[in-house]
Amino acid sequence: MSESSWSVRYAPTARRDLKRLDPQIARRVLTAVDRLLDQDPSLDVRRLTGTSEGRIRVGDWRVRFDRDTAACEIVILRVLPRGRAYDR
C-alpha cells in the first residue's frame, strides 16, 4: 500500500514569521512540520473550528496550516505565539 507523497509549502507570511523567530524555536517549528508530513500520531494536530485550517502546537507557538489535497501539499500559513494565533 503506497501513499502519495505530500510536500510542504510556506506562505509568504509564514516565511516572515519564521525569520523573526529565535533560531532554536524556528528549528523546533521546522521539526514539527516534518513530523506533520510523516503523520506522526504523537503530534498535537487540531482542526480550527469554522475553517478548513489546522494547527500544531510547538510549545507556546502555533503553526496554522491548510491541506491542499488536489496538489498533495500542506500549506503553512502562519507561525504565531499562542495569544495571537487565533485573532481574526
pLDDT at 29: 96
47 contacts: CB under 8 Å, gap ≥ 6? 53, 54
Model confidence at 43, in pLDDT bands (50, 70, 90)?
confident
User: Does the pLDDT value for residue 87 go beyond 80?
Assistant: no
Q: Assign 71 to helix, strand or coil.
A: coil
Verdict on whether the full-model pTM lies above 0.75: yes
How many degrees, rounded to 5, is the angle at CA 74 between CA 78 and CA 68? 115
- What are the structural domains of the chain? 7-81 (3.30.2310.20)
Over residues 10-33, the pLDDT tens digits come to 999 999 999 999 999 999 999 999
**Structural element, H or E, at residue 56:** strand 54-58
